[in-house]
Amino acid sequence: AQSVTQLGSHVSVSEGALVLLRCNYSSSVPPYLFWYVQYPNQGLQLLLKYTSAATLVKGINGFEAEFKKSETSFHLTKPSAHMSDAAEYFCAVSDLTGTYKYIFGTGTRLKVLA
């Protein structure tokens, strides 16, 4: 069965510092992977996705993620944090059994310190 693990439910970084949010997956076949962001009182917005093309995926708002099969990871990074990046971030893997399900991680809340 597929699963997603997000290490660290809360991450704090200083403004201008590197953002690193961790996501590890478990899947018996090459997965499709997604990062979503949720701002307070809003729905989820897609940041980027991995669909078996380039392993380094660039998304919106300066975020990128690298698919590493050997480490079963899909960590989200941004070189320089901005105050507006404060939000909750969710990693998800697409179910491959044709049932249209996503399996979401438990989320990581990012706090950006001035």
Partner 1 sequence: ETGVTQTPRHLVMGMTNKKSLKCEQHLGHNAMYWYKQSAKKPLELMFVYNFKEQTENNSVPSRFSPECPNSSHLFLHLHTLQPEDSALYLCASSQDVLGRTSGRWYNEQFFGPGTRLTVL
Our CB check for partner 1 shows the closer of 17 and 66 to be 66
| Helix (H), strand (E) at residue 45 | strand 44-50
45 binds partner 1 (CB under 8 A): yes
Rg for the chain (alpha carbons), in Å? Answer: 14
Neighbours of 107 (CB within 10 A): 18
The Cα–Cα gap between 49 and 40 comes to 22
Rule CB under 8 A: say whether 36 interacts with partner 1.
yes
Taking the complex as a whole, how short is the minimal distance between the CB of residue 106 and partner 1, in angstroms? 5
The least distance separating partner 1 from the CB of residue 83, rounded to whole angstroms, comes to: 22
Smallest separation, CB 16 to partner 1 (Å): 30
**Beta-sheet pairing, 73-78 with 64-68:** antiparallel
- Distance between terminal CA atoms of the chain? 41
Residue closer to partner 1, measured from CB, 10 or 82: 10
Question: Under the rule (CB under 8 A), what is the footprint of partner 1?
Answer: 30, 32, 34, 36, 41-46, 49, 51-53, 90, 94, 96, 98-102, 104-107
